[in-house]
Chains A and B, each alone.
Chain A
């Protein structure tokens, strides 16, 4: 890979707005994302924290246009994906997404959940896709579940499958939308372990979470959002040990109790 590619940010966000209720004159509009501009570099593990309703998930979901931004630009590898002429489906293949509620395909086996994307979208042979699918299942310790269906799995197992389902597409970046919030407490650990492994392997990650331990341990950069704005952005050390923003201090004191 050429050196100059690494110097450029993987994702560049410019003056992003998401305004809810624009078309409804009866209700006041809400700026879910209020003029956010930032860059995400290769290898970044960006953790977004903030009170509920601060726009964290909306921001994350707008990175692959699951939320259509009201205005602003998102450049992925220098291509403006908010441009109507860009094939967003192509870009989404390279942007893995993990949801709070897993969203596995219940009518397909675990292995098929992993192979259907590579086979149908990337033209890989079933054999090839299955071989790699099995490797990924080994990696998360669930190879014995290949022929099972999602409803036969625990929440933690489902989320591990959801992560490798995205990885099977060989993404450049992984987006995590509160991946442990819907899990029973005893299952949070197994999912975080996989995410930590992934971070250590150098995957670029953006993660909305309430897991401060995870943020501190593997995050390379922490974002604090409130009312649709990014009001703090820094390395974990100064962020957690020496927060300058009073509301961030207030937030941390509540969640770190």
Chain B
């Protein structure tokens, strides 16, 4: 009887989840048809931007120029993490124009209906590679390689391939050797045609191929590390990456932190505006296929899910260990007055961790603590999330210990158990049982918190959703799918945890 009703409840919850997601699916269809009717072209030149809102990608040249540009008399500037997000906001009528590099602009306009590029360019700029300040040896080599590749036509071959879609492009010569080791290239692979993921899940583009050619020329293997655009300079400055290459324009501000090579390409910043209606119609199923079935992108999602689960599980494990130790230290101090120094350390730890954003902790651990150490990013994430979770778990366990009646402690001690034995046999078993619900909650929080792993270029589930979005130019399907997967995980976990709780409660 009881089993029956609980099954019915599970079914009801799943039904609600299904209905909500169906509602979500229906939503953008209306929004799209609604939005497209109003949008006819109103901006034909730079002077028409007066009183408009312009979108840019944070930290790009467009951002730097437009933010200082008083002449345009803009109403405002919206900053997005990727150029694609900015273009998408434009097509959804959220902003009026996007300032972006010429080449990606061409790609976006070609892929999305209803957009056009203004004839007048906004600015012209030189692209160069960034290296750590003072690394003159590498700088010299890179300059030499750039000059040589310009000379022998390799650079032109690459540009022709990606921009005019002509020729074979560049591939490493047979038997290319890399005796000089490895160079890590920091980039932001959301920037076609300079760097982006192709359908084989590999980062390609003008910069990527040029970097490879430079590596082949200099005898280095090149490893590409994909990260947020605004992290590239930091990565290079801290030595996480040996060079940065992402359509980087030479600016004085950037030259404070890093050194630039000679320019290898001259690009333009252009303005994209809305032209006319033209939202494409496709069924939900086509859309699903385009996002997940094409190019086997579901595999990416699956591997992202794996990464998310690995980070969450290990962080929980170590978080509980840390939390346990810290809780024991703090409550031992509270009860006996001992462990004074350790208690101070524990208090500082919980205060700092609870008082700073998790993202900031993650970035500090990656870029500051492990700045000069080469360890896998997943381990960095596990360390960051363990430390973060440990602080919260320690407070949970401590509150559990404090909630146990002092009489339990006295009963244990009066029988002749020492402090540690009393804790182990009587206080902790009861305390842990009391905090089981709170620990489950912490696990759920942590699972969702790992979604910020993308900040240090880890391809967790959220990041993968974002990558798919940048390739299919569809925000809705990947993001909602990722959200549903999280929801499902939390739902399953909450059910399992509920069973555990129930079992413990029955045992006295």
Q: Name which residue of chain B comes closest to A99, CB basis.
A: B407
Structural contact, B415 and A121, CB atoms closer than 8 A: yes
Minimal beta-carbon separation of A99 from chain B (angstroms): 6
Q: Could you tell me the dominant secondary structure of chain B's interface residues?
A: helix
Contacts beyond the supplied A90-B416, A107-B508, A120-B417: 19 A-B pairs with Cβ under 8 Å? A89-B418, A92-B413, A92-B415, A94-B416, A95-B414, A97-B411, A99-B410, A103-B408, A103-B410, A105-B426, A106-B430, A107-B430, A108-B508, A116-B425, A117-B415, A117-B416, A120-B421, A121-B415, A166-B414
CB distance from A151 to the nearest CB of B (A): 7
Chain A, 75-99, contact with B by CB distance < 8 Å: what is the 0/1 string? Answer: 0000000000000011111111101
* Residue of B410, B417, B425, B430 touching A89 (CB-CB under 8 A): B417
Residue of A nearest to B406 (CB): A103
Distance (Å) between the CB of A47 and the closest chain B CB?
A: 20
Question: Can you name the residue of chain B whose Cβ is closest to the Cβ of A93?
Answer: B416
Q: How far is the CA of A106 from the CA of B505 in the complex (A)?
A: 12
For this complex, 12 residue pairs linking A to B, each with C-beta atoms less than 8 Å apart, are A66-B414, A89-B413, A92-B415, A97-B411, A101-B405, A101-B407, A103-B405, A107-B433, A107-B508, A108-B508, A169-B415, A169-B416
What is the CA–CA distance of A109 and B405 in the complex, to the nearest angstrom? Answer: 18
Q: Per-residue 0/1 for A231-253: is the Cβ within 8 Å of any B Cβ (1 yes, 0 no)?
A: 00000000000000000000000
The digit string for B405-442, where 1 denotes a CB below 8 A from any CB of A, is 10110111111111001000110011001000000000
A58 within 8 A of partner (CB): no
In the complex the two chains form, is B410's CB within 8 Å of A106's CB? no
- For A66, what are the chain B residues with a Cβ–Cβ distance below 8 Å? 410, 413-414
Q: Among the interface residues B413, B416, B418, B425, which one has the most CB atoms of the partner chain A within 10 A?
A: B416
A160 to B425, CA, bound (A): 22
A105, B411: Cβ atoms under 8 Å?
yes
What chain B residues lie within 8 Å of A166 (beta carbons)?
414-415
A150-166 toward B: CB 8 Å interface, digit per residue (1/0)? 11000000000000011
Is A64 an interface position by the 8 A CB rule? yes
Q: Is A149 part of the binding interface, using a Cβ–Cβ cutoff of 8 Å?
A: yes
The residues of A that contact B421 with a CB separation of less than 8 Å are 120
Q: Residues of A at under 8 Å CB distance from B? A: 64, 66, 89-97, 99, 101, 103-109, 116-117, 120-121, 149-151, 165-166, 169
A residues in contact with B508, CB < 8 Å: 106-109, 149-151
Inter-chain CA distance A96–B421, complex, in Å, is 18
A103 CB contact (under 8 Å) in B407, B425, B430: B407
- How close is B127's CB to chain A, nearest CB, in angstroms? 67
A117 near B414 (CB under 8 angstroms)?
no
| Closest beta carbon of chain B to A246's beta carbon, Å | 36
Most buried by A among B410, B411, B414, B421: B414
A97 CA / B508 CA spacing, docked (Å): 24
Q: How many angstroms from the CA of A66 to the CA of B411 in the assembled complex?
A: 10
Residues of chain B at interface, number, CB under 8 A: 19
Central interface residue in A89, A90, A165, by most chain B CB within 10 Å: A89
Chain A neighbourhood of B433, CB < 8 A: 107
Contact indicator A103/B413 (Cβ below 8 Å):
no
**Complex CA distance for A229 and B426, rounded to whole angstroms:** 35
Compute how far the CA of A166 lies from the CA of B421 in the bound complex, rounded to whole angstroms. Answer: 17
Task: Report the separation of the CA atoms of residues A191 and B414 in the bound assembly, to the nearest whole angstrom.
Answer: 20
- List of B residues within 8 angstroms of A91 by Cβ: 416
Contact B417 A117 (CB under 8 A): yes
Q: Which residues of A contact B425 (CB under 8 A)?
A: 105, 116, 120
Q: CB-defined interface of B365-409 with A at 8 Å, one 1/0 digit per residue?
A: 000000000000000000000000000000000000000010110
Known interface pairs A66-B410, A99-B410; A107-B415 also in contact (CB < 8 Å): no
A151 CB contacts on chain B under 8 angstroms: 508
B134 to chain A, nearest CB (A): 59
CA A108 – CA B415 in complex, angstroms? Answer: 15
B427 nearest CB across to chain A (Å):
10
Distance in angstroms from A125 CB to nearest chain B CB is: 18
Write out the residue numbers on chain B whose beta carbons fall within 8 Å of the beta carbon of A120: 417, 421, 425
The complex places the Cα of A106 from the Cα of B426 at a distance, in Å, of 9
Tell me, in angstroms, the Cα distance from A91 to B415 when the chains sit together: 9
Cα of A173 to Cα of B422 in the assembled complex, Å: 22
Chain A neighbourhood of B411, CB < 8 A: 97, 99, 103-105
Given A107-B433, A149-B508, A92–B407 Cβ distance below 8 Å?
A: no
How far, in whole Å, are A90 and B411 apart by their CA atoms in the complex?
15
Q: In the bound complex, how far is the Cα of B459 from the Cα of A78, in angstroms?
A: 71
A93 to B414, CA, bound (A): 7
- Give min CB distance, B339 to chain A, whole Å: 18
Contact B430 A121 (CB under 8 A): no
Residues of A within 8 A of B426 (CB): 105, 107
In angstroms, how far is the closest chain B Cβ from the Cβ of A209? Answer: 18
- Cα A91 to Cα B417 in complex, Å, equals 11
With a cutoff of 8 Å between Cβ atoms, the chain A residues found around residue B417 in the complex are 89, 117, 120-121
Question: CA separation between A105 and B421, bound complex, in Å?
Answer: 14
| A32→B377 CA distance, assembly (Å) | 61
B406 to A: closest C-beta gap in Å: 9
| Inter-chain contact A89/B414, CB cutoff 8 Å | no
**Which A-B residue pairs are the 8 nearest by beta carbons?**
A93-B416, A149-B508, A103-B411, A97-B414, A103-B407, A92-B416, A117-B415, A89-B418
Q: Which residues of B contact A116 (CB under 8 A)?
A: 425
Minimum distance in angstroms from A118 CB to a CB of chain B: 10
Q: Which residue of B lies closest to A116 (CB)?
A: B425
Q: Complex: how many Å from CA A93 to CA B413?
A: 9
Q: How far is the CB of A140 from chain B (nearest CB, A)?
A: 18
Give every chain B residue within 8 A of A101 (Cβ-Cβ): 405, 407
Give Cα A125–Cα B336 distance, bound, in whole angstroms: 32
Q: Are A121 and B416 in contact (CB under 8 A)?
A: yes
Q: Give Cα A99–Cα B425 distance, bound, in whole angstroms.
A: 19
Q: Once bound together, how far apart are the Cα atoms of A120 and B415, in whole Å? A: 11
**Nearest Cβ on chain B to A233's Cβ, whole angstroms:** 25
